[in-house]
Chain A
């Protein structure tokens, strides 16, 4: 039957990896937002070749399961890096790549195309009249962006960014396939160790759920704070 003691102990054990999982997710999200901004600029300014490439990439990433991409990257990246470092004459051992880097790389790329859409929508949501007012007041292009567009777009984009963070946290459960220890990985380990898989996975599921609730509450609070007064 269900062993409450094992379950509670499992929760405590799994909580230990929550900070590192969160950190990993935040790093991925920030990288994805940076990449997404660059993608947005490329698409917005219709940079030849690159913008077409991004359309293809977008469609490819939309149409491929994450787990397949991860397997693909784990096979492709070491090969690719060996070739690149080889031609540059840098010593490199493909077996020593930390799988965390491949996970970060794959997830940030996948996520970045979606972030670019979020950024685009957020920027478009800024009232055109205010941008015109800034121009009429003599703001330069850059001043208009940093003082008028960015602060308002950030507020619009924030809930979507937080949503993406939750997706990454849940998506990272795939990373245990590649020996990166996250919540699911820890649960699997624990299950094997105690031979109580039911309790271990129940604990993992509960922690995912609680994490999601806490982060959503936190996001709502921050958003409310940002909009305070003017909405």
Chain B
């Protein structure tokens, strides 16, 4: 349903993504893992053209685009088929929770106020914030804000949701509530591409893990194949480091 071919992105002399190919099927939960500065977030942001790839092509549903010749109208179409959840939530801070969720539906999808309201309430109920409709983002905890941003994304009924390190900015004790919501979204059959450092969570919810290093995909496969059975030395090194660091912290 979503496939990316030979995606490259250079910043001046620096090649950040070195020819990425990815396929995501409908209902898949694909998680990008790998060391920091490897291009996971950049790759995710290329999918909705927040980052501008140098070359490559993307197919999303019936949309087929060449990044080099993309038009403004195509960018808009691409963005309207996807939704993104950011690390910093990025809610509209001058709008209440319900307005944050309603406004995109009214502006982008031209839904009526009543229709947008009903849909928003439904989504906010799913993320457990039905009692916060009239709050402003500044009155909410990070975890609550992130759940609003998930509701805002889902309310648009996108074909794929892109999660960009959705729990990295949260206090450790708030991570759980957000992961729970993401897990429910995954179980509802939504197609997801996720960047995260929560390894055990990735292992639990993903249908496919993509391990990236230095702008390349090193290895991809089902969680078990990557986390337990991988024979690739780079993958093993990364995972070992990861678990060792985790032990040190605990």
Tell me if A53 is interfacial: C-beta within 8 Å of chain B.
no
Query: How many whole Å from B191's CB to the nearest CB in chain A?
Result: 16
Tell me if B90 is interfacial: C-beta within 8 Å of chain A.
yes
Give the total number of A-B pairs whose CB atoms are below 8 A apart: 67
Query: How many whole Å from A158's CB to the nearest CB in chain B?
Result: 13
Contact A132 B94 (CB under 8 A): no
Query: How many whole Å from B94's CB to the nearest CB in chain A?
Result: 5
Contact B83 A132 (CB under 8 A): no
Contact of A132 among B90, B103, B149 (CB under 8 A): B90
Contact of B83 among A136, A147, A155 (CB under 8 A): A136
- Interface residues in A188-231 (C-beta closer than 8 Å to B): 229-231
Query: How many whole Å from B235's CB to the nearest CB in chain A?
Result: 30
Query: How many whole Å from B162's CB to the nearest CB in chain A?
Result: 8
- Interface residues in B139-185 (C-beta closer than 8 Å to A): 139, 149, 152-153, 156, 162
A129, closest chain B residue (CB): B90
Given contacts A138-B104, A139-B107, A143-B107, contact A133 B156 (CB under 8 A): no
Interface size on B, residues (CB 8 A): 30
Given contacts A138-B104, A138-B156, A139-B108, contact A151 B94 (CB under 8 A): yes
Contact A147 B103 (CB under 8 A): yes
- Chain A 123-149, CB within 8 Å of chain B: the 1/0 string? 000010110111111111001000110
CB-CB under 8 A from B234, the residues of chain A are none
Contact B108 A138 (CB under 8 A): yes
Tell me if B197 is interfacial: C-beta within 8 Å of chain A.
no
Contact of B93 among A127, A137, A139, A143 (CB under 8 A): A127
Query: How many whole Å from B46's CB to the nearest CB in chain A?
Result: 12
Tell me if A152 is interfacial: C-beta within 8 Å of chain B.
yes
**Residue from A130, A133, A140 having most chain B Cβ neighbours under 10 A:** A133
**Residue from B90, B95, B149 having most chain A Cβ neighbours under 10 A:** B90
Contact B79 A138 (CB under 8 A): yes
Interface size on A, residues (CB 8 A): 21
Contact A137 B156 (CB under 8 A): yes
User: Whole-angstrom distance between the alpha carbons of A148 and B90 in the complex?
Assistant: 12
Tell me if B92 is interfacial: C-beta within 8 Å of chain A.
yes
Contact B138 A130 (CB under 8 A): no
Tell me if B230 is interfacial: C-beta within 8 Å of chain A.
no
Tell me if B3 is interfacial: C-beta within 8 Å of chain A.
no
CB-CB under 8 A from A140, the residues of chain B are 76
**Residue from A148, A151, A230, A231 having most chain B Cβ neighbours under 10 A:** A230
Contact of B92 among A130, A138, A229, A231 (CB under 8 A): A130
Contact of B94 among A133, A135, A137, A155 (CB under 8 A): A155
CB-CB under 8 A from A229, the residues of chain B are 96, 136, 139
User: Whole-angstrom distance between the alpha carbons of A147 and B82 in the complex?
Assistant: 20
Contact B86 A129 (CB under 8 A): yes
Query: How many whole Å from A96's CB to the nearest CB in chain B?
Result: 49
Contact B93 A130 (CB under 8 A): yes
Query: How many whole Å from B45's CB to the nearest CB in chain A?
Result: 9
Query: How many whole Å from A206's CB to the nearest CB in chain B?
Result: 39
User: Whole-angstrom distance between the alpha carbons of A230 and B80 in the complex?
Assistant: 28
Contact B108 A133 (CB under 8 A): no
Tell me if B216 is interfacial: C-beta within 8 Å of chain A.
no
Contact of A136 among B82, B94, B138 (CB under 8 A): B82
Contact B92 A136 (CB under 8 A): no
Query: How many whole Å from B2's CB to the nearest CB in chain A?
Result: 16
13 A-B pairs with CB atoms under 8 Å apart are A130-B91, A130-B93, A133-B149, A137-B83, A137-B152, A137-B153, A138-B156, A139-B104, A140-B76, A147-B103, A230-B93, A230-B95, A230-B136
